[in-house]
Structures are given as structure tokens and as C-alpha cells.
Structure 1
Amino acid sequence: MRLFPLLSLINIIYVHCSGYRPVVIVHGIMTGNLTLLHLASKIKWEHPDTKVYVPERFAGWSSLLPMWRQILELGEDIMNISYNHPEGINLIGYSQGGLIARGILEAFPDHNVKTFISLSAPQGGQYGTQFLHLFFKNMTKNTAYRLFYSKLGQHTSVGNYWRDPHHEKLYLKYSNFLPFVNNDETCPDTMYFKLGITNLKKLVLIGGPSDGVISPWQSSHFGYYDDDENVLELKDQISFQNDVLGLKTLNDSNRLEIISVDGVTHFDWHCNDSVIDNYIIPYLD
């Protein structure tokens, strides 16, 4: 009796019936998991029986707590979810949640996240007055460094990834988060941070010029300002060319997708059906 054809059929049936990998979605700043219910429902509509988790930690004002605290606590939740899904999960992070999600990948490099979708997140940093006015009404981008580059300022999530291109030395001196997760500054965990990124099957970076909040909008693709506020794209940066974070490794192995979509404002990315249908769901295999 030949077992190979039978075993192959069983494998095909198992793969077909096992459905899509579970999805975890991390919300943005000053919001909560309710804002992501449309995205979650769209995923379940297109991928029936897919488990979608939308953690409710750090909603509202608590989203301004330090990034490392949010990463470690939410990371434990996601690792527990992963433990129950050894086949792997997919991870989506919107706005600040995209930076938190990326930090989780680095802080927990033994994760089993297969695809990470960063949706309009300040991966390269943030420098914009319009963004500040969401919660600091009287602050401007030119003066914000006075607060954020201090011990007090580093107790806010925004201060942790505020990157003033005109005060780079102060940024590197005081910021206890972004220079490290970007591997611009070395620490004992530097190689683990890189491993957390290179372990991905796919990294998808989504943003666009109509965003209006992430500044520069290319930060959603790891681009950022030079000291004259000219934008330096990711692939033109020395840190990319030296592969300090593993992004070049992903790019060279066709595991990095950089997607620009015009006409979408910052508060619409997670509820825009065209974005969801064309640039999110196709990557949730």
C-alpha cells in the first residue's frame, strides 16, 4: 500500500482547513481598541474563522505612558497569544501602536510573528506641530525639545520618539527609546533587537503624503529629516546600508514591502476599505 498520496491529501486538507493565522492589532495614541473594530471585522469578513485580537491596554491618556512600559506589558500579552498559536501570528500596529508593535518584536526576539504591518507609524521618529497639538495645545515643534529632552519628558511616549533634527546631540543624550530600538545607539540588547526584525517573514510599511500627522510622512517608511529638514529616504541612509537593524537583510531577501498611498489622512488608515482590501488583507496569509 502506498501511503504517500494519502499523506499528501491529508496535508492539503489540513492546510486548507487550518485557515489564516491569528491577527493581533495594536491601537494608536489617545484612542483604544474600539477604533480598530472596523479593521478587525473586515479581516474576519474576508478571512472567516480567523481569530483577531485587539488588546485594550493603554487606551486614552494611558497611551502617553513611557514606550518601554507599554512594550513590555503589551508584549507579555502578545507572547501569551503566540503561545496558544504555535503556527505563528500576524501583527498590525497603527500610528504609535505600530512603533509599540515593532518594539515588541525587538524586546521579544523569540516571537513567532510572521508578518508585521506598520500602518502610518513614526518608525523613523516624529517632528511636527500638528501632531503635538493633539494633546499639547500650546507646544510647537521648535520648542518641544526643551520638555522632551529631559528626564521629565522621557516619561511620556511622545518624548520617547520625538526626534528634533536640529538637536540631534540632545536627542541621542536624553532619548531612552528610539535611538536604541533603531540601533543608532548600541546597548546589550542590540543584536537581539536586530534578530527580532530579521526573524520576520514579511515587514510591510504603509504611509502616504496626505497623512497630515506623521511628520515627515516618510517616517512611516523609516525615512527622516536631515538637519536642514530635507527627507532622507530609508535606502539612502547609512544605517540601512550598514544593516544595523536588519532592514537591508529583509529588503535583500524580498521580505520588505514599502507602500505609499496618496489621499489618505492619518485618522483614516485603519478604517479606509481600499487600504484594508488592497494593502493589509493580502498580506495576512
Structure 2
Amino acid sequence: MTGSASMEIIKGRIEEQHPGTIIYNTNRFSGWSSLENMWYQVQQLGQDLLNVSSQHPEGIHLLGYSQGALLSRTILQTFNNHNVHNFISLSGPQAGQYGTNFLHLIFPDLALKSAFELFYSRVGQHTSVGNYWNDPYHQTLYKEYSQYLPFVNNEIISNRSEEFKKGITKLNAMVLIGGPDDNVITPWESSQFGYFGQNDTVVNLIDRDIYKDDLIGLKTLDKAGKLKIITVPGVNHFMWHLNTSIVDNYILPYLD
């Protein structure tokens, strides 16, 4: 629900510590428009990325925060002719979301256990949140109705599955940043492709099929030393992009 203004602190810190770096801070889909369907946002933002790439044939880096991190990752998969070297995901729901802490401003009466009734419907799939809502208790409905996340995570094989994988494996590095005190991304491990398994337990990335079967190339990156998983305690979801120590310690090292 925020816009590019919320990323100005990161932008300014990078410019201060990395003089000469050119930064494109997009203001697309800010505010209520962030609820637009994810595929629509991917197509629009993807064209922006290609325009930037064409101006910098030597290569670029891509950073996304929160929903923007999931959008950014999908752009890399969808526009797999990109020239992105390093991708930094800052507290993004990469494995999905099953928590309503951030939804009550939009859907004030939405209850966690019944949210699937809204999101796994034609109406719900017109919203960004519905596109990556991953209810661990209704996986059949998730795969039947969700038009976005099960496809980009190759949980459902499509004629684009190999393309989606190619867009990831060509990266020099994928950096997944998250932490246990996020309090919005649920489970917080989703920021690192972990997710709920049975009995409300969280299964970490390397024990999930998306890694074990190398569905989108995470295992390939990991075996090549290109998958960086960074856990930072004590950071609330709404502070990741406002905390200059996060920039200094975990973002700047991947901008060379």
C-alpha cells in the first residue's frame, strides 16, 4: 500500500555509500493499485525492467521489498531474457502468505480460517493478495483456483515451467532476507521459501519439494553458491526498508 517514497531511504543510503550508482525507484502500483492482479503488475513492471536493462547492457541488480519482492522474482521468471545479475528479496512472501495482520485495513472483517472463501474465487483472484494466498489447510482449492503462485513456483507444471526456471538459474546471486520478528509475512520463513507443512509446523526451504525437486532452480543456485539466505532478528516488517544497517550489512555487499 506504500509507494516509491517509502524506498527513498534505501535509495539515498545506496547513493551515499555507493557513489555513482544509478537507481530506478519505480512508483507504479502504489497505494490501492497495489491490490491489482499480480500478473497485470508483472507485465507492466516487467516492461519497465526491460527498458532499464536496454539502457544498461552491462547488467543491473534488482531489489524488491514485501509484495514487490515477489513481483520482482516473477518478473525475472517471466522476462527471462533479463540481464539482472543479483536479485535481492527483502521480506517478500515468496512461498505465499497465510496471515491477516496486514489485511485488516483492506478487509476489516476477514478471518484467517475463512479467508480462502474469498481468495479462492474469481473475485479473490482479481486481487494481488488472493494471488499468493497459500492456505495450508486447503491445498486442493489453492491449486485449483490460484492463478498465480502455484504456477510461478512450478507446483503446477505448465508450458512455461522451463522458462520460469531459466529466469532464476541465470542469476549470479539470489539474496533472500527475512527474520523471525517480521510479524506480517506469515510464516516469516516464506521470505526464504519456507512454508507451513503439517500440524502448523514450518518446513524450511531445503526440506520442501520446491528445493528438493529443483522446481524453479533454487537448488541449482544453492549448489553453485549463488543462493544467499540471510536471517536478521529484531526487525519488524515495516522497518526493513527504513533501516540503514540492513542496507549497509546485507544489501550493499551484493551491489558490486
Question: Which SS does the other structure have where 1:77 is aligned?
Answer: helix
Q: Which residue of 1 aligns with 2:235?
A: 264
Root-mean-square deviation (CA), in Å? Answer: 0.7
Question: What percent of counterpart residues are identical?
Answer: 54
TM-superposed deviation, 1:95: 0.1
Q: What residue identity is the alignment partner of 1:247?
A: L
Q: Which residue of 2 aligns with 1:88?
A: 59
TM-superposed deviation, 1:134: 3.9
1:136 aligns to 2:139 (yes or no): no
1:71 aligns to 2:42 (yes or no): yes
Using the size of structure 1 for normalisation, the TM-score is: 0.89
Q: Which residue of 2 aligns with 1:203?
A: 174
1:144-197 deviation per Cα after TM superposition (whole angstroms, max 9, x unaligned): 000000011000000000000000000000000000000100111110000000
Give the Cα–Cα distance (whole angstroms) in 1 for the partners of residues 44 and 210 of structure 2: 29
Question: Which SS does the other structure have where 2:162 is aligned?
Answer: helix
Question: Which SS does the other structure have where 2:199 is aligned?
Answer: coil
Give the Cα–Cα distance (whole angstroms) in 2 for the partners of residues 116 and 134 of structure 1: 30
Query: Are residues 61 and 108 of structure 1, via their aligned partners in 2, closer, same or farther at CA, if it must alter by over 3 Å?
Result: same
Give the Cα–Cα distance (whole angstroms) in 2 for the partners of residues 132 and 144 of structure 1: 10
1:101-135 deviation per Cα after TM superposition (whole angstroms, max 9, x unaligned): 00100000010000000000000000012122242
Note if contact 2:118-2:124 (Cα within 8 Å) is conserved in structure 1. Answer: yes
* Number of equivalent positions: 256
TM-superposed deviation, 1:269: 0.2
1:69-110 deviation per Cα after TM superposition (whole angstroms, max 9, x unaligned): 000001001100000000000000000000000010000001
Give the Cα–Cα distance (whole angstroms) in 2 for the partners of residues 177 and 221 of structure 1: 18
Map residues 67-216 of structure 1 onto 2, 5 A cutoff.
Answer: 67-216=38-187
Q: Which residue of 2 aligns with 1:53?
A: 24
1:15-44 deviation per Cα after TM superposition (whole angstroms, max 9, x unaligned): xxxxxxxxxxxxxxx010000000000000
Question: Which SS does the other structure have where 2:177 is aligned?
Answer: strand
Query: After the TM superposition, which segments of 4 or more aligned residues of structure 1 sit over 2 Å from their partners?
Result: none
Question: Which SS does the other structure have where 1:258 is aligned?
Answer: strand
Note if contact 1:132-1:140 (Cα within 8 Å) is conserved in structure 2. Answer: no
Note if contact 2:97-2:187 (Cα within 8 Å) is conserved in structure 1. Answer: yes
Note if contact 2:9-2:244 (Cα within 8 Å) is conserved in structure 1. Answer: no
Q: What residue identity is the alignment partner of 2:7?
A: L
Q: Identify the structure with bigger relative contact order (alpha carbons < 8 Å, sequence gap 6+).
A: 2
Gaps of 5+ in 1: 1-29
Using the size of structure 2 for normalisation, the TM-score is: 0.99
The structure with the largest alpha-carbon Rg is 1
TM-superposed deviation, 1:238: 2.2
Q: What residue identity is the alignment partner of 2:121?
A: S
Give the Cα–Cα distance (whole angstroms) in 2 for the partners of residues 270 and 69 of structure 1: 25
